[in-house]
Structure 1
């Protein structure tokens, strides 16, 4: 019993340490509100039109915010599945049965590959990673993001758009080709949904997370 007691205490100490480390990682992602407001488009007329895009409309003007700064990936998947009428509609349901984020914090956040594994475990739909895309390929997929039968989740670095921050996942609500603007349904409450020029989002996606490029996750 004493040995098990020592192991249990040791495990708890490690878990607390991981959570604290995760909190430190989250704190480094802070972007001032004024930087957010000046970096993206949120004019009332465009936002109203954006919510009427074919895919954005299935979200019913609702985004369930990530529970902490490290769980954007599970939150993005949960929101995408909810819009498709899938059963996994919360972070908890998305993560159930996986070892991902078992401490409550996704250490350093989930990579695109890790998020794909989590997403595939909760659905019979096809989940595909799209990585190393050129600008032309990226544009083609943005056009397809208006297809109600597909959901795209974008993995990008906040810094090229907001001047600060780190890696993030959020669903794409659609694309305005005439204005060349992408509707990103940001799952972080501090940011909330926004529109951004395609080239700026491409530059934010065309970055490295470790030794691999960021990219898109498509559920179809």
Structure 2
């Protein structure tokens, strides 16, 4: 007999089990999403996906999207935390990323783009925080070039997007997620959404993400943007040191 206990419909707790993606966004696991993945893979624009996918996990708190994205990238880039996680193992988890900000504060308030950049730096990353300016002529071209560069490299560099969910037609507002790939022919990016309880990984137009990253963060009065990150030293050099 199955041990799972089924609840009567009137006893199911309030809340939500995921949300449907807006029509313009394409779930990675859908037939269309898998086709895009195959096409991008053959074009050589999915190299960054695999190290990130190995570390893909769901954020442990509703306000931990920034920390979870950072931890996912730190582990994907093979950054040694130089301190123990469990037993004899050195590994990053959300509760180890609070070198510049208390987790209790982040749990209540979330984290800004610049604060997340500082947290990355004090955990062994070289971080370039780029706030989006819709009026900058080279802005979206630079972002597209960064996405292409990262997507063509199997390791050593990553991008974390800070964007407004509302501009994507999703519920909520400020959010962070790593960028997992690029489909150049259709100018689509793959977002590895760390809030997997809410939305699955999905493809979306690069220009739409750009506009969502230009949305103002109410806590700072500045636009959102993205982080271009790489380790202070390569994983191989760290192992030999």
Runs of 5+ consecutive residues of structure 1 not aligned to the other structure? 1-29
TM-score, normalised on structure 1? 0.76
Q: Residues 14-29 of structure 1: matches in 2 within 5 Å?
A: none
Q: CA deviation at 1:192?
A: 2.5
Cα pair 2:192 2:201 within 8 Å, conserved: yes
Q: CA deviation at 1:149?
A: 2.1
Distance 1:143 1:191, change over 3 A: same
In the other structure, the counterpart of 2:202 is 194
Q: Which moved more, 1:140-149 or 1:74-83?
A: 140-149
In the other structure, the counterpart of 1:212 is 222
Distance 1:150 1:108, change over 3 A: same
Q: CA deviation at 1:94?
A: 1.6
Provide the aligned length of Structure 1 versus Structure 2: 187
Aligned mates of 1:47, 1:100 — CA distance in 2: 38
Q: Residues 150-165 of structure 1: matches in 2 within 5 Å?
A: 150-165=157-172
- SS in structure 2 opposite 1:68? coil
Higher helix share: 1
Over the aligned positions, Cα root-mean-square deviation in angstroms equals: 2.3
Distance 1:75 1:217, change over 3 A: same
Q: Residues 101-180 of structure 1: matches in 2 within 5 Å?
A: 101-102=103-104, 105-123=106-124, 125-133=125-133, 134-146=139-151, 147=153, 148-180=155-187
Distance 1:130 1:167, change over 3 A: same
Runs of 5+ consecutive residues of structure 2 not aligned to the other structure? 1-15, 28-32, 82-91, 134-138, 231-241
